[in-house]
Amino acid sequence: MRKTYGKGAGAVHALRDLSLAFARGSFTAVMGPSGAGKSTFLHCAAGLDRPDAGTVVLGGTDLASLSETDLAILRRERVGFVFQAYNLMSALTVADNITLPLMLADRGPDPQWLDRVVGRVGLADRLDHRPAQLSGGQQQRVAIARALAARPEVVFADEPTGALDTRTARQVLQLLRDIVDGTGQTMIMVTHDPVAASYAHRVVFLADGRYAEETTQPTPEQVAERMTRLGEW
Ligand SMILES: Nc1ncnc2c1ncn2[C@@H]1O[C@H](COP(=O)(O)OP(=O)(O)OP(=O)(O)O)[C@@H](O)[C@H]1O
């Protein structure tokens, strides 16, 4: 993918020539110094934005070939999102928040899958609560269950633990890892945090809009050392 913001002397090459593949069932953290292109990559890969050149293929579908409407349908049905802000609907119960994407897609839930997701995120006894009655960690677990409800082919997480304290963050990261290992879900997480990245199977480092390097079975120390080598973070 290539993506440039602006024109002429002021042009910013956010993605220069980035080519990446993610195996089904893998958990990948995407890291890199500030301005490396992580958010731009995530937005393009998730079909929220389009690259200027190159393409994104999700499970055999070339996103470049889709109209805006079809792209919106693909995002709703085949992609899940978890953000730093949980973006829950305060008037809805936990159960309704989780199934909202399915309702919007006019799709009946797969009850077995939903039970599994709700059980895994540990919210079975909270389904009638409203988001305001939950802790930050519990709210993020609702958001994770919502992202998984439609059983998407891939879940994109953008700093999913950025708003949580260290202990809660670790629980949520372990949950993400358990979901990937237990369900075969594919997860791609953008993060600045070496500890968060260490929960992934693989860490891909970007620098200046390009692929820089990667590591598997990461440790926080190893990730921090590579980040320091790549620049300011
Ligand atoms: N809408 C935009 N208009 C102009 N420039 C942009 C826009 N979005 C991003 N950029 C620029 O593109 C480059 C890559 O930005 P991006 O947000 O993808 O980096 P990042 O790695 O996510 O950074 P950070 O870690 O600071 O969030 C940066 O130089 C940024 O200033």
Q: Whose CA is nearest to atom 2 of ligand 1?
A: 5
Contact 37, 196 (CB under 8 A): no
Check residue 3 and give its pLDDT.
Answer: 97
Check residue 108 and give its pLDDT.
Answer: 80
Angle between helices 166-183 and 111-121 (to 10 degrees): 150
Check residue 106 and give its pLDDT.
Answer: 81
In a domain, 109, yes or no: yes
pLDDT category at 101 given cuts 50, 70, 90 is: confident
Q: Whose CA is nearest to atom 3 of ligand 1?
A: 5
In a domain, 49, yes or no: yes
Q: Whose CA is nearest to atom 30 of ligand 1?
A: 35
In a domain, 114, yes or no: yes
Contact 150, 107 (CB under 8 A): yes
In a domain, 75, yes or no: yes
CB distance 104 to ligand 1 below 6 Å? no
Maximum distance among all Cα pairs of the chain, rounded to whole angstroms: 57
Check residue 36 and give its pLDDT.
Answer: 95
Q: Whose CA is nearest to atom 27 of ligand 1?
A: 34
Separation of 58 CA from ligand 1 center, angstroms?
24
Ligand 1 atom nearest 40 alpha carbon: 18
In a domain, 181, yes or no: yes
In a domain, 15, yes or no: yes
CB distance 33 to ligand 1 below 6 Å? no
In a domain, 196, yes or no: no
Structural domain boundaries enclosing 221: 3-190+206-230
In a domain, 201, yes or no: no
Whichever domain contains 220, its CATH number is: 3.40.50.300
Check residue 216 and give its pLDDT.
Answer: 96
Tell me: pLDDT of 131 over 90: yes
Q: Whose CA is nearest to atom 26 of ligand 1?
A: 34
Ligand 1 atom nearest 192 alpha carbon: 25
Tell me: pLDDT of 233 over 80: no
Check residue 180 and give its pLDDT.
Answer: 95
Tell me: pLDDT of 109 over 90: no
What total of structural domains would you count in the chain?
A: 1
Assembly ipTM: 0.96
Residue count (the chain): 233
Tell me: pLDDT of 74 over 90: yes
**Average per-residue pLDDT in the chain?**
94
Tell me: pLDDT of 107 over 90: no
